[in-house]
Amino acid sequence: MTIVEVGPRDGLQNEKAAVSTADKIEFINRLTAAGLPIVEVSAFVSPKWVPQMADAAEVFAGIVRRPGTRYAALVPNLAGLDRAMQAGVTDIAVFAAATETFSRKNINQGIEESLAGYKTVCERALAAGLRVRGYLSTAFGCPYEGAVPAVKVIDVTQRLLALGVFEVSVSDTIGIAHPGQVRQVLEDLVAIVPADRLALHFHDTRGTALANVLAALPFGIATFDASAGGLGGCPYAPGAAGNLATEDLIYMFDGLGVETGVSLTALVEASAFIADRLDHRLPSRYFQAVRRT
């Protein structure tokens, strides 16, 4: 299994407490030392809208890049891509949505307009030798439109792949997915899109993230996003847990005898480091069990 660590970006971007550039760099270096193969470092977005990501270039300049580990950044447009390339980023991600309303609320663009913009981003990035990943938000439910038909998920997934992304991370943005729904969506999606071109991004808002991972395994999904300590809240469910915690996922995979290459002990130490810089406890169940404070 491949774990994509999204804590430094998707996790920290929602934090109210200011995290220094030096602490972000140390956090990422510790995640690297834990053996995580892919770390999403930051996002080259407007500091006005996401102030926690304002130091993206400085963070990339300061981290120790281990051979064999990939370091990614989210980019929304050509300006973000240019900044990312200047920072020496080799892996980028673009983000679309399965519902029109969420797309407009999230990035102030409809689905068609966003994909048209990403076409130019992908063309330039691929021509420069960068690897491009795609995110698909609200694949299991939308805070504005409710249930999302599988046909919409399939359509935007295929269109992202047509832009040249190597993989689409199908995302449960509001943490509403349950195992039965995961099976239903994947039955339709994997019938058209090869499983090795898909990843899954679950939130644990309703406590079903690990169960959703188990439901996805029979479909051949082998890449999952997770966030150290469970960093990252859900803006549509205030007070709820955010991303699937990397510790919880690794603990489950270790118990199943599934190889990830990640040291759970080192991962906990990385999470403990960043926990001391925040104003709340980390939601990871495993972290809480072994680091009672």
- Cβ distance 273 to 256 under 8 Å? no
Q: Comparing C-alpha atoms, which of 36, 108, 76 is closest to residue 269?
A: 36
Active site residue 234: yes
Mean pLDDT, residues 172-187:
96
List the Cα angle 76/82/85 in 5-degree steps: 105
Give the per-residue pLDDT at 259: 96
**pLDDT at residue 99 is higher than 70:** yes
- Cβ distance 24 to 60 under 8 Å? no
How many domains, the chain? 1
| CATH number of the domain where residue 32 is located | 3.20.20.70
**pLDDT at residue 37 is higher than 60:** yes
Catalytic residue among 234, 264, 274, 282: 234
Q: Kind and range of the H or E element at 135? A: strand 131-137
User: Per-residue confidence at 26, pLDDT binned at 50, 70, 90?
Assistant: very high
Q: Kind and range of the H or E element at 210? A: helix 209-216
* Mean per-residue pLDDT over the chain, rounded: 95
Give the per-residue pLDDT at 64: 97
| Predicted TM-score (pTM) of this structure | 0.96
**pLDDT at residue 181 is higher than 60:** yes
Domain housing 15: 2-290
Give the per-residue pLDDT at 240: 57
